[in-house]
Amino acid sequence: MLAGVIEVRGLTKRYRSRVAVDALTVTIEPGRVTGFLGPNGSGKTTTMRCILGLTRPTAGTATVLGRPYRELARPMRRVGALIDPRARHPGRTAYAHLLCLAQSNALPWARVDEVIELVGLEPVADDRVGGFSLGMAQRLGIAAALLGDPDVLLLDEPVNGLDPEGIRWVRELLRLLADEGRTVLVSSHLMSEMEDTADHLVVLGRGRLLADVPMADLLGAHAAVRVRSPQAPLLASALQRAGGSVELEIDGALRVEGLDPEAVGDVAFATGARVHELSRITASLEAAYLELTGDDVEYRAVAR
Amino acid sequence: MPFRSVVVSEWTKLRSVRSTWWCTALYLLVVGAGGWFGAAITESAPEPYLAVGSALTGFGFGQIVLVVLAVLAVTGEFRTGMVLASFASVPRRGRLLLAKTVVVGAWCVLLSSALALFCWFAATRLTAVEGGIPLTDPGVLRQLGVQVAAATLTGVLALGLGALLRSSAGALGVALGVLFLLHPLLAISETSAGDRIGRFVPALRVGEDAFLAVQTPWQTGLLVLASWAAAAWVLGVVLLERRDV
């Protein structure tokens, strides 16, 4: 068995009339950052809470390192989790908060100082956490997740509330952790947050799995070629004969899917159509994501 | 996971919030002052244990503060969201509550023992008893021991209710309602049913006490209190294990 794998099998969680997670089956592999994406209310947090044994699934199973989370001895040494930046008592100091968590898993005291330094909270270590900003609370949560130096990390919306410097810091940290061979599952409802971070994407919509793909594939699947020619109608029909699907852009250029730039150039040459522009369009991840989740947004503003 | 680690962690949790220290100070103050006052207004007593009994009066209301401390030790976790981190670090929830109970129970024993000794000291200084009030007197020792046990069981009952109800207001309301209001209400009702029910209602003080609707021997009183505490605690663990957070 691979080290540090999360296995979710047929996971379903139903709350009265609402299905939060619907027969979700997915495996999270080690050594890469897996982005866990979906609109608000798509079941990301519920899934993570089921993995951590905080929420009992209606059906299905979730295991970490081959066992249900609740059966792990000293779980913080195996799995680090950031579930909610508010998962702390506001009256405790940052140091006391991390100390009581470290003690519960018999982790060395020195680890507390190490993680405080790692997340940059030294100046406020002895302040009560109730006065922390959301960004500081997130750093405290990340510090708690890292306490046990775990092989598996589950972070629910870790960059929420962080400033740009903090966001970059989290990205670099996640990259570093994955490169060390750890399993990193990080959720977000914003694709842009994943663009430079994740290697692999798991996309949820209304509790169902919409995609489980490498980042590169998702981008490739939505790539297209843009070509501009004074003889657009002639070129368009030639491209269609060659197997491409062609759309006319607003500025008169053609957007071609299904053919690579070399093929488009060859077709234009053979047709005798003059080419004024020929370029590859990498689909923005945001667009690919919207396309995937478009039908599955649970809460949508309605124009009145 | 060694149980000792969880106990150490729970002690850190208890000592690192202000409510613990406020409650501790108030408990010492109220029961200590009540004890001194109780002893002062009891000029003489026929038996040493009765003199000590008067001096222990402060426990009858001071334990409210102990109930608050114990309830907050549990509901504070749910109110703040800390429980997510606690359950993620110790997924066996019964074990977690047991460790919390050990810590809060030990704190109750420590504070209540110190207060009981103080009350005994107040009685020796202020209440005249023929032959004095030796600490080694079996009657005196029993009075003090029963009071410490009752205070600790009250704390455990409050913890159990906290785990059961999860809300500070709810758990405090039920705990104080049961421990503080039921007996006077039953006493006012002056019915035979009230008498029968009163035997099974726990109170902040056990044994012969003017506040109780029904006077029962201390053994019965302790047993009733222990049964309520055990029932609330076990039910609390069962619900903790079953419910989501």
Out of B8, B12, B84, closest to residue A84 by CB: B84
Give the pLDDT confidence score for residue A137 in this predicted structure.
95
- Is residue A7 within 8 A of residue A27, CB to CB? The reply is yes
For chain A, list residues whose CB is within 8 angstroms of any CB belonging to chain B. Answer: 49, 52-56, 69-76, 81, 83-84, 86-93, 96-97, 99-106, 144
Place B209 in a pLDDT band, splitting at 50, 70 and 90: low
Separation between Cα atoms, residue A220 and residue A233, nearest integer Å: 27
Q: CATH number, domain at A24?
A: 3.40.50.300
Claim to verify: residue A250 and residue A189 sit in the same structural domain: no
Give the pLDDT confidence score for residue A71 in this predicted structure.
93
- List the 118-137 stretch of B: residues with Cβ below 8 A of A: none
Q: Would you tell me how many other CB atoms lie within 10 Å of the CB of residue A155?
A: 26
Residue A298 clears pLDDT 60, i.e. is over it: no
Residue A288 within any structural domain of the chain: no
Q: CATH number, domain at A260?
A: 3.30.70.100
H helix or E strand, kind and range, residue A235: helix A232-241
Q: Closest by alpha carbon to A99, among B10, B158, B170? A: B10
Q: Domain end: A190, A214, A238, which one? A: A214
Asked if the Cβ–Cβ distance from A88 to B82 is below 8 Å, we say yes
- Average confidence (pLDDT) over B10-34: 97
Residue A157 within any structural domain of the chain: yes
Residue A94 clears pLDDT 70, i.e. is over it: yes
Put simply, whether B85 touches A (Cβ < 8 Å) is yes
Separation between Cα atoms, residue A258 and residue A133, nearest integer Å: 48
pLDDT tens per residue across span A7-53: 999 999 999 889 999 999 999 999 999 999 988 889 999 999 999 99
pLDDT tens per residue across span B27-45: 999 999 999 999 999 999 9
Claim to verify: residue A207 and residue A251 sit in the same structural domain: no
Claim to verify: residue A64 and residue A208 sit in the same structural domain: yes
Residue A254 within any structural domain of the chain: yes
List all residues 6 or more positions away from A270 whose beta carbon is below 8 Å from its beta carbon: A238
Chain A interface mutation, best of B4, B10, B11, B12, highest count of A Cβ atoms under 10 Å: B12
Put simply, whether B18 touches A (Cβ < 8 Å) is yes
Asked if the Cβ–Cβ distance from B89 to A89 is below 8 Å, we say no
Give the pLDDT confidence score for residue B242 in this predicted structure.
93
Q: Domain end: A168, A191, A214, which one? A: A214
Out of B6, B18, B87, closest to residue A54 by CB: B87
pLDDT tens per residue across span A123-150: 999 999 999 999 999 999 999 999 999 9
Claim to verify: residue A153 and residue A250 sit in the same structural domain: no
Residue B163 clears pLDDT 70, i.e. is over it: yes
Give the C-alpha distances (Å, rounded to integers) separating B86 from A83, A93, A185.
11, 16, 21
Q: Domain end: A187, A214, A241, which one? A: A214
Claim to verify: residue A154 and residue A231 sit in the same structural domain: no
Out of A56, A74, A100, closest to residue B13 by CB: A100
**Tokens 């209710």, located at residue:** B161
- Average confidence (pLDDT) over A230-255: 90
Chain B interface mutation, best of A65, A86, A104, highest count of B Cβ atoms under 10 Å: A104
Residue B181 clears pLDDT 90, i.e. is over it: no
Residue A291 within any structural domain of the chain: no
Chain A: residue whose CA lies nearest to B12: A100
Contacts of A93 in chain B (CB under 8 A): 16
Secondary structure of residue B178 in the 3-state scheme: helix
Domain assignment of residue A265, given as a range: 224-281
When mean pLDDT is compared over A190-204, A262-276, B181-195, the highest value belongs to A262-276
Contacts of B245 in chain A (CB under 8 A): 49, 54-55
Put simply, whether B100 touches A (Cβ < 8 Å) is no
Place A183 in a pLDDT band, splitting at 50, 70 and 90: very high
Claim to verify: residue A88 and residue A235 sit in the same structural domain: no
Claim to verify: residue A178 and residue A263 sit in the same structural domain: no
Q: Tokens at residue B65, please?
A: 């503060």
Say what percent of chain B tops pLDDT 70. 97
The number of distinct structural domains making up chain A is 2
From A102's Cα to the closest Cα of chain B, the distance in A is 8
Claim to verify: residue A17 and residue A148 sit in the same structural domain: yes
Residue A66 within any structural domain of the chain: yes
Pairing of strands A254-257, A59-64: unpaired
- Is residue A148 within 8 A of residue A182, CB to CB? The reply is no
From B87's Cα to the closest Cα of chain A, the distance in A is 7
List all residues 6 or more positions away from A140 whose beta carbon is below 8 Å from its beta carbon: A85, A88, A94, A97, A98, A119, A121, A129, A132
Per-residue buried b or exposed e for B166-197, using 16+ beta carbons within 10 Å of the residue's own CB: bebeebbebbbebbbebbeebbeeeeeebeee
Residue A82 within any structural domain of the chain: yes
Contacts of A144 in chain B (CB under 8 A): 85
Claim to verify: residue A36 and residue A78 sit in the same structural domain: yes
Asked if the Cβ–Cβ distance from A89 to B77 is below 8 Å, we say yes
Secondary structure of residue A198 in the 3-state scheme: coil
What does A17-79 look like in DSSP terms, one character per residue?
A: TEEEEEEEEEEE-TTSEEEEE--TTSSHHHHHHHHTTSS--SEEEEEETTB-GGG-SSGGGTE
Claim to verify: residue A21 and residue A103 sit in the same structural domain: yes
The neighbouring-strand residues paired with A15 are: A18
Claim to verify: residue A199 and residue A271 sit in the same structural domain: no
Backbone angles phi, psi at A255, to 5 degrees: -110, 120
Residue A295 within any structural domain of the chain: no
Place A299 in a pLDDT band, splitting at 50, 70 and 90: low
Contacts of A103 in chain B (CB under 8 A): 5, 8-9, 12
Residue A284 clears pLDDT 80, i.e. is over it: no
Give the pLDDT confidence score for residue B61 in this predicted structure.
87
Q: Tokens at residue A256, please?
A: 């071609």
Residue A302 within any structural domain of the chain: no
Asked if the Cβ–Cβ distance from A52 to B88 is below 8 Å, we say yes
Q: Closest by alpha carbon to B67, among B56, B78, B75? A: B75
Chain B interface mutation, best of A78, A89, A98, highest count of B Cβ atoms under 10 Å: A89
Q: Tokens at residue A247, please?
A: 């759309």
Residue B205 clears pLDDT 90, i.e. is over it: no
Claim to verify: residue A196 and residue A112 sit in the same structural domain: yes
Chain B interface mutation, best of A103, A138, A157, highest count of B Cβ atoms under 10 Å: A103
Q: Tokens at residue A34, please?
A: 């897996």
Put simply, whether B3 touches A (Cβ < 8 Å) is no
